C-alpha cells in the first residue's frame, strides 16, 4: 500500500518566557514560581540529548564503519525522507539500534563512559533505562507539559514538553520514548504520527498477539530491546483505509459510503421459524444470542469484521433480522446493503420464505427538536445552508446518542454500553476506549457540529 504523504508540520519556538511572566500552564502564578525552572532544565536536557545522539552515531561510525551505522538507521521503521522522521531515526538508532547484539548507546558508555563529563554520562545512563511505548494523553498544560499513561507497562508520567503541549488533545495516543532524569521526565523521540484511541487499541492488541506472551503489563526491558522495533512497525502500518475527504455539503452515509436510506424488507415464512433461524445463523456474520425484542421477535445481527481485526473489534453492523412465527423482517440503512443481504437470505432459505414487500423511510427534512435548538421543533435555515446542515447533524446525533446506551455493541462483546458500564472490568475498559474515540472524532469537527460526549458519559456513569 502506498504511504500517505503528510504535509510538513513546521514549528518554531516562541519568544523566551520571562521569569516574571505568567506561567503558560494556566496556574496564574509567575513562571519562576511554577513550571519555569523545570522547563529550563528540560530545555537544557533536550540540547544535551541532541549532542549525545550525534556523538554516539559519530563514534559508532568511526568504530564500526559508516555503512554499518547507515544500515542501522535504515532499519528503523518509517520513511526517513518524510518530515519529522530523520530526527526520530537518529534517536532510535542511537538508543535502540544494535550491532553484534549490543545497542550503540551501551557500546558508547562502555567504550567512552570513563572520559565523559558526569552530567553527560548520567544522561546517557538515563537513556539506557528509557523505553518506547504507546502512551495515552491524560492531561495537558498548554505550553508546559503533558500527563501520560503507558498503555503497555501501566506507568504514568508528567513530561515537561513546551511545543507538543501546545497542540496536544486529551485522549490522543502517542508512540514515544519517555526519559526520567534528575527528577524530570521528558519526551525524547516521539513518532510524528498520532493515533486515535481505537487505532491504538488495535495496535496494542496486535503487539500482544505478535509477542504471544501471557496477559499483563509489559516489562520496560522488553520495550528497550528488539520489541521496540516491532512496536514502531505496527505504529507505522495503516490499520484503516484512507479517510474520505469531507464533502462540501452534508451527505449522510454509512461506513460503506452508501447514502443513508432506512430500508425494511418483509418476508412471509412457509416453514417453521426455527428452521429459518438455523439456516441464517449458519451464514458467516449472522449472529444471535437467542434474545427477543419487546414484540417477541428473535433478533439476528448481520456483522462484518474488518480484515485482521481482533475479536470484538473492528465490527460493522450491516443489518438486523427480526423473526416471528410467520414473518421475517430485514432492517438495513442503505439500498445497497438491503439488496446484498436479501440475496443472501433468499439463497440460504430457498423454499422456506418469500419476499413480500420493501419499505423505505427516507431521512426527513424536519426532525423533532432537541434541547437547546431554536424554532418550533424543525431544523431552521435555508435548504443547503451551513447553519441548517449543522442543526440537522446535531439532531441526528441527539437521536443516535440517546439510543446508543441501550443498543448491543459488537465491540463490547454484544453487551449494551449501559451493561458494559455496570459489568466493570474489561467490558468497562473497552467502553471507555469507545467513548474516547467518540470524543476524538467530535473534537475534529467545527464547534457548531460537535456533540458533547460528556452528556453520554454522565448517562452511563462514566464521567472522568
Mutual angle of helices 335-348 and 273-281, in 10-degree steps: 110
What pLDDT score was predicted for residue 354? 95
Residues in the chain predicted with pLDDT less than 50, given as ranges, are 1-17, 24, 31-32, 239-250, 308-313, 364-384
What pLDDT shows up at residue 365?
41
Query: Are 165 and 143 spatial neighbours (Cβ–Cβ below 8 Å)?
Result: yes
Domain ranges of the chain: 31-236, 262-361, 387-460
Count the alpha carbons within 13 Å of 164 in the hemisphere toward its beta carbon. 24
Residue 172's nearest CA partner among 200, 150, 152 is 200
Q: In the prediction, which pLDDT does 35 show? A: 54
Contacts of 403 (CB under 8 A, 6+ apart): none
> Given this model, what pLDDT does residue 243 score?
37
Rama region for 120: left / alpha / beta (φ>0; ψ in -120 to 50; rest): alpha
**Mind listing the pLDDT tens digit for each residue in 237-286?**
754 433 333 333 445 667 677 887 889 999 999 999 999 999 999 999 89
State in Å, rounded, how far the first CA of the chain is from the last one. 39
Inter-residue contact 379 to 365 (CB < 8 Å): yes
- pLDDT at residue 239, rounded to an integer: 41
Q: Are 319 and 307 in contact (CB under 8 A)?
A: no
Instruction: Please report where in the chains the cell 504535509 appears, as a residue.
Output: 7
pLDDT tens, residue by residue, 198-227: 888 888 888 887 765 556 788 888 898 878
Our CA angle for 439, 445, 451, nearest 5°, is: 50
Domain 262-361, classified CATH 1.10.3470, yes or no: no
CA 395 to CA 451: how far, in whole Å? 10
Return the sign of the alpha-carbon dihedral for residues 106, 111, 112, 118. positive
Amino acid at each position: 500500500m502506498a504511504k500517505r504523504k503528510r504535509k510538513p508540520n513546521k514549528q518554531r519556538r516562541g519568544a523566551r518566557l520571562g521569569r516574571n511572566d505568567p506561567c503558560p500552564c494556566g496556574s496564574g502564578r509567575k513562571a519562576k514560581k511554577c513550571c519555569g525552572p523545570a522547563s529550563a532544565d528540560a530545555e537544557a536536557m533536550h540540547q544535551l540529548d541532541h549532542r549525545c545522539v550525534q556523538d554516539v552515531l559519530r563514534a559508532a561510525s568511526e568504530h564500526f564503519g559508516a555503512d554499518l551505522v547507515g544500515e542501522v538507521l535504515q532499519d528503523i521503521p518509517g520513511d526517513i525522507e518524510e518530515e519529522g522522521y530523520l530526527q526520530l531515526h537518529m534517536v532510535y538508532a542511537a538508543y535502540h539500534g544494535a550491532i553484534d547484539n549490543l545497542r550503540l548507546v551501551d557500546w558508547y558508555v562502555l567504550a567512552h563512559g570513563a572520559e565523559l563529563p558526569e552530567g553527560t554520562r548520567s544522561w546517557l545512563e538515563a537513556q539506557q533505562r528509557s523505553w518506547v511505548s504507546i502512551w495515552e494523553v491524560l492531561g495537558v498544560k498548554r505550553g508546559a507539559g503533558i500527563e501520560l499513561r503507558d498503555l503497555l507497562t501501566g506507568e504514568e508520567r508528567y513530561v515537561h514538553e513546551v511545543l507538543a503541549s501546545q497542540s496536544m488533545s486529551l485522549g490522543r495516543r502517542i508512540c514515544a520514548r519517555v526519559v526520567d532524569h534528575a527528577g524530570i521526565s521528558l519526551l525524547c523521540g516521539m513518532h510524528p504520527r498520532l493515533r486515535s484511541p481505537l487505532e491504538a487499541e488495535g495496535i496494542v492488541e496486535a503487539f500482544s498477539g505478535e509477542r504471544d506472551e501471557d496477559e499483563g503489563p509489559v516489562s520496560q526491558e522488553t520495550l528497550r530491546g528488539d520489541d521496540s522495533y516491532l512496536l514502531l512497525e505496527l505504529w507505522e502500518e495503516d490499520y484503516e483505509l484512507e479517510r474520505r475527504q469531507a464533502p462540501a455539503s452534508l451527505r449522510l452515509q454509512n461506513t460503506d459510503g452508501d447514502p443513508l436510506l432506512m430500508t425494511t424488507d418483509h418476508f412471509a415464512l412457509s416453514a417453521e421459524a426455527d428452521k429459518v433461524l438455523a439456516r441464517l445463523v449458519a451464514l458467516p456474520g449472522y449472529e444471535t444470542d437467542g434474545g427477543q425484542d419487546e414484540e417477541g421477535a428473535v433478533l439476528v445481527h448481520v456483522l462484518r469484521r474488518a480484515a485482521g481485526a481482533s475479536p470484538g473489534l473492528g465490527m460493522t453492523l450491516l443489518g438486523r433480522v427480526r423473526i416471528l412465527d410467520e414473518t421475517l423482517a430485514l432492517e438495513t440503512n442503505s439500498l445497497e446493503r438491503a439488496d446484498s443481504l436479501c440475496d443472501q437470505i433468499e439463497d440460504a432459505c430457498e423454499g422456506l420464505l418469500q419476499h413480500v414487500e420493501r419499505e423505505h423511510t427516507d431521512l426527513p427534512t424536519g426532525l423533532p427538536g432537541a434541547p437547546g435548538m431554536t424554532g418550533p421543533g424543525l431544523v431552521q435555515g435555508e435548504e443547503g445552508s451551513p447553519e441548517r446542515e449543522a442543526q440537522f447533524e446535531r439532531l441526528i446525533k441527539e437521536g443516535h446518542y440517546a439510543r446508543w446506551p441501550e443498543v448491543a455493541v459488537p465491540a463490547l462483546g454484544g453487551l449494551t454500553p449501559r451493561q458494559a458500564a455496570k459489568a466493570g472490568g474489561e467490558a468497562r475498559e473497552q467502553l471507555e476506549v469507545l467513548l474516547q474515540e467518540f470524543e476524538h472524532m467530535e473534537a475534529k469537527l467545527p464547534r457548531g457540529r460537535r456533540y458533547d460526549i460528556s452528556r453520554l458519559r454522565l448517562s452511563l456513569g462514566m464521567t472522568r
